Each structure stands twice: as structure tokens, then as C-alpha cells.
Amino acid sequence: MKKSIFIRSAATAFLCFVLFNYTLANTPKAEGYKVGDQAISFQLKNVDGKMVSPADYQSAKGFIVVFTCNTCPYSKLYESRIEALNQKYASKGYPVLAINSNDMTKQPGDSFEEMVKTSNAGEYSFPYLYDESQEIATAYGATKTPHVYVLEKNKKNLQVKYIGAIDNNARDEKSATDKYVENAVDALLANKPVSTTSTKAIGCTIKWKEA
């Protein structure tokens, strides 16, 4: 009897150990940015094979950085809205830079090759960049797809002005009553404070590499 209890206890302890280490392996190693922080720049491969960086956009006033992917249902729901953001704001100085950070070994549908197909099928007007090392998602603190960071360019610096969701209704765009990203960019363009600076990003968890 005592032996049976010992075996069950040992098995439970081992399971807890495995789950704990699995959680650590699938959790970002940095807390990421808060509103007001200076964000790092980056240079990542676009679906056209070219390297793209915020530094390439000399006349930009800022950026709408969207961590997204090919496979997440929420990313698919927001696909047309992300395109609409670029159509509306790129010419005003706030282009969209979309980034896929998912580990393709865990999510084969998020490979670079599939990114190219997704971009072509959706006729994206914005760069769709591959964060293969996951360094940018980790630095920014992105955890979901989609997860948005609105950045304002100040000389050579990128200051975080908004973090979170695109709007308050993932399933029905027409029913969205708070368009967080649009409101943030509109405020910045008008030289006004952003009223809502952070919201909870709703979506699928980013698929992290094993430690």
C-alpha cells in the first residue's frame, strides 16, 4: 500500500516537473514593453525575400506593428481589418508591419512558405515579416496573434503609444464599438494624447520554440 502511494506521489511530482518545464519553454523570456517605452528596431525577411526594417521608411511618422500568423482563427478574422488599417494609414505616415513569430515546427502552417501563400492570397499591401528567431516577439512582449503595437517615430527612436487588440469585437467587425488602433493613430496624427493606451490582446498564443 505504502509502495503504491509512493509510486503515485513520484509520478505526480514528475508530471508537475514536466509541465513546469514545458510552461517555461513556451513562455517569453522577457516581459516586453510598456506604453511609453522605447522599442527596438528590427530587420526581418519579407515574403518577397527582401529584408525590411522600420529604418527603410524615412518619411514615416510611426508604425502599426501587428504580430499575427497564417493559422490562428483570430488572425484570419482580422486579416481584412489589418489590410484596411494599412490602406487607411500608410499614406498618412503609419504603415502596417505584420510579423509572424510562430515556431513552424509546432505550427507547420506558419512556415515562411505558407506565409508567402497567405500574403499572395490576401493580396497584402503591407510587409509580412518572418521573426524566425522569435527575438522580436520576445523583446516586444507579444503573446497573442494578433497583438498590436502602435509606435511613434521620434527622430531615430520608436516610442510605444498603444499595445493590445485592434478593436473590441473579433468576430464581427461591424459590431465593434471601440476601434482601439484607429483611435490611437488618429490621436497621434492630431497631436493629441492617446485615450486608451492598452487593452487585452485577444487571439491564439504565440507558439514558442523549446528552450
pLDDT of residue 10 exceeding 80 = no
pLDDT of residue 18 exceeding 80 = no
Among 99, 125, 96, smallest CA distance to 112 is for 99
- Rounded mean pLDDT, 69-73: 98
Tell me the mean pLDDT in the region 18-26.
39
Q: Nearest Cα to 57, choosing from 97, 88, 85?
A: 97
What's the pLDDT tens digit per position in 187-211?
999 999 999 999 999 999 999 999 7
Q: Which three cell numbers stand for residue 156?
A: 531615430
**Contact by Cβ (8 Å): 188, 161:** yes
Q: How confident is the model over 66-87, as a mean pLDDT? A: 98
CB 97 within 8 A of CB 126: yes
Q: Give the 3-state secondary structure of residue 204.
A: strand
Residue 13 has pLDDT above 50, yes or no: no
Can you give the residue ranges of every domain in the chain?
1-30, 32-205
pTM for this entry? 0.86
pLDDT at residue 21 in the model: 40
With a CB cutoff of 8 Å and minimum separation 6, the contacts of 27 are: 208
pLDDT at 11: 42
Reply yes or no on domain 32-205 having CATH 3.40.30.10: yes
